Chains A and B, each alone.
Chain A
């Protein structure tokens, strides 16, 4: 699964730590999501999308092989 969390964070000028605190996870989890090592749960993906005020599909996208 691809994601645009890093780009969206850059758009809002939001550090990893700040995003992590807003959605109740550790900074390391945000880092793992951005580097593609961790696929968040639906709940977490929806929370992230809410922060960025975009539909979840604009942030998370299926890849070939998923």
Chain B
């Protein structure tokens, strides 16, 4: 069956190696105001309202590591990638789409001003995170190989 092209399985390791440091760095910039001094770049002639002349790119780096790493985790092959895994994959995408927008609706009514800023930040990861949660829940827990059922025998 012709299916969507996926990345080789080892991209999962690359993905993890990006997401974990990215998440730590992201938390440090978001909650600890941490910045790498060498990531200061002058992008304008002078400061303007809400637009500083020098921008620090530590948070951009963290954001990139998280999003790109999660994409690698989402779009890499399973060891036994067959049509049933593909179906679980597609169903998990449906799930993540729905859950993401339900969360957006909830956040819309219950989160305001600065809190909504965090919604915007975390909201960019929810589709990917919900996908991973749902996909691996179905694959590894709900439809896990049941060795005690003796099905391998005839």
**A36–B84 alpha-carbon span in the complex (Å):** 13
Those of A1-44 within 8 Å (CB) of chain B: 9-10, 13-17, 24-29, 31-32, 34, 37-38, 40-41, 43-44
B40 within 8 A of A: no
The answer to whether B146 and A31 touch across the interface, beta carbons within 8 angstroms, is: yes
Residue-by-residue, is A29-66 near B (CB-CB < 8 Å gives 1, otherwise 0)?
A: 10110100110110110000000000000000000000
**A40–B84 alpha-carbon span in the complex (Å):** 8
Those of B1-26 within 8 Å (CB) of chain A: 1
The answer to whether A15 and B82 touch across the interface, beta carbons within 8 angstroms, is: no
Residue-by-residue, is B132-154 near A (CB-CB < 8 Å gives 1, otherwise 0)?
A: 00000000000101100101111
B83 within 8 A of A: yes
For B80, give its contact among A14, A26, A34 (CB under 8 Å).
A26
The answer to whether B154 and A14 touch across the interface, beta carbons within 8 angstroms, is: yes
A-B contact pairs, 25 of them (CB 8 A): A9-B154, A13-B154, A14-B154, A15-B154, A16-B151, A16-B152, A24-B82, A25-B82, A26-B80, A26-B84, A27-B145, A27-B152, A28-B80, A28-B84, A28-B145, A29-B84, A29-B85, A31-B145, A31-B146, A31-B149, A31-B151, A34-B151, A37-B143, A38-B84, A44-B1
- Which residues of A does B touch, CB under 8 Å? 9-10, 13-17, 24-29, 31-32, 34, 37-38, 40-41, 43-44
